[in-house]
Structure 1
Amino acid sequence: MSPTEVTVHVNRGSADALEPASTALETDGSFRLLLAGHESPAHVHCRLHGDLERIASLDGTNYYVEPDSVTAVPIAVDTDAIEQPVDGRLEVLTGYGSESVTIDVTVVPGPPDVDIDESLAEPARSEPEPTVFEQAVGRITAVRGVETGTLAVLALGVVALTIATLTTASIGSPIATAGLGSVVAGVVVALVLLLR
């Protein structure tokens, strides 16, 4: 429920007249009594009765209402103190108590407080989708039981062999061929050590 208001017209039509816009109010929190002044000024007294008295409070009890103006009377309600509806009455008096109106008030428990974890303020991080290469590596390691580090060394060896072969083919010297042999020997030794 949203913040609630109830209006009582003061001195509309005759002196010391009170006319509530509604005789009942249901709320789940604090509300306001609006005293709408009409032809002449008035002193208005407000008070709470019943169980409403134990969970609600008025800032003051006596109010001066000017003609053609609205005086707002805040009524603070502590809904944390209740677990089920509380009934009571708001009484509005004028003319030194000669005229009064009563508004039945029912206070229902508000929605429960929700504890918000600080982690909710952080944006959600989703894992990025694996690339085709990562999916292929995952399948190979799952099927053969090969570790990804071993696959990385193997891939590096293939790259080294490719570069050495292309270099030897383009240069064509005996030193380049000896370098290719060294690279092949290094890759073979690395594979033997990794696969043991």
Structure 2
Amino acid sequence: MAPKEVTVRVNRTGTESLVPNRDAVTLDGPLTIVLEAESSPAHVHCRLGGPLESVGSIRPLTDDEHGDANYYVAPDSPTKLRLDIEPMDLESPLEGTLELVSSYGAAACTIDIKLVPGRRPADIDRNLGQPQRSETEQETESLKRLETLTKLDVGTLGVVVLAAIALGIGITTAFVVGGVAAYLALMIIGAGTVGALAVLLGVIDPPGQ
């Protein structure tokens, strides 16, 4: 719903009157109020009535006005006011009135105002505008981080993992089978695994070098 505007003409020729261009307004946000004097200067008092009074406020849009609810209107220069609505979650329509009075009550008019729930802004995913990385790229980045931490290349890391798995299987088998032969086999497997890792990691030189 677009912002609304209502114009009120102040007529001081003959019978004084305040004539709005509409008698009722439906809003979901601010309202601009334009006061126009047709013949001579005037002061117009504005106030809100009903439930709207507790959620709305009127302020001038010009720097020379002070917002004391009594606004000066020059014949050649319309005075613009703004009805602001406090931010809130409105579940059902709220009704009230905008009342305007001039010439010490000699002229008055009332505009019915209905405030309806406005559209809530849609949630925007901040990651939509960012390029998405594939699973392969993420895995490659993870491997690079692991290489940086361990200072080992991917091939060496794979051998280390396989050796750890083999050693774990040997330990489990020794506990399940039991006996001297099983523990002797475990010791041989363990020694071979440790020796192979030591050569692979450069801790010891291969035989014959």
TM-score (norm 2): 0.56
Query: Which of 66, 90, 94 is equivalent to 1:86?
Result: 94
1:29 is displaced (CA, Å) by: 0.2
Is contact 1:15–1:40 with CA below 8 Å preserved after alignment?
no
Query: Compared with structure 1, are the counterparts of its residues 118 and 92 closer, same or farther at alpha carbon in structure 2 (3 Å cutoff)?
Result: same
1:93 is displaced (CA, Å) by: 0.4
Question: Gaps spanning 5+ residues in structure 1: where?
Answer: 127-196
Is contact 1:29–1:79 with CA below 8 Å preserved after alignment?
no
1:12 is displaced (CA, Å) by: 6.1
Aligned match of 2:17 = 17
Aligned match of 1:139 = none
Q: Distance in 2 between matches of 1:54 and 1:120?
A: 40
Is contact 1:8–1:35 with CA below 8 Å preserved after alignment?
yes
Q: Distance in 1 between matches of 2:104 and 2:13?
A: 18
1:118 is displaced (CA, Å) by: 1.0
Pick which of 9-18 and 98-107 moved more.
9-18
Q: Deviations over 1:90-111 (max 9, x none)?
A: 0010001121100000010110
Q: Which runs of 4+ in 1 moved over 6 A?
A: none
Is contact 1:29–1:78 with CA below 8 Å preserved after alignment?
no
TM-score (norm 1): 0.59
Q: Distance in 1 between matches of 2:33 and 2:50?
A: 18
1:16 is displaced (CA, Å) by: 3.2
Aligned match of 2:188 = none
Q: Deviations over 1:99-139 (max 9, x none)?
A: 1100000010110232222112325789xxxxxxxxxxxxx
Q: Distance in 1 between matches of 2:133 and 2:104?
A: 67
Is 1:37 the counterpart of 2:45 in the alignment?
no
1:14 is displaced (CA, Å) by: 3.7
Q: Distance in 1 between matches of 2:15 and 2:116?
A: 36
Query: Which of 76, 84, 105 is equivalent to 2:84?
Result: 76
Query: Which of 120, 124, 134 is equivalent to 1:116?
Result: 124
Q: Distance in 2 between matches of 1:83 and 1:14?
A: 46
- Counterpart secondary structure, 2:105: coil
Q: Distance in 2 between matches of 1:124 and 1:18?
A: 61
1:58 is displaced (CA, Å) by: 1.2
Question: Gaps spanning 5+ residues in structure 2: where?
Answer: 60-66, 135-209
Letter in 2 for 1:7: T
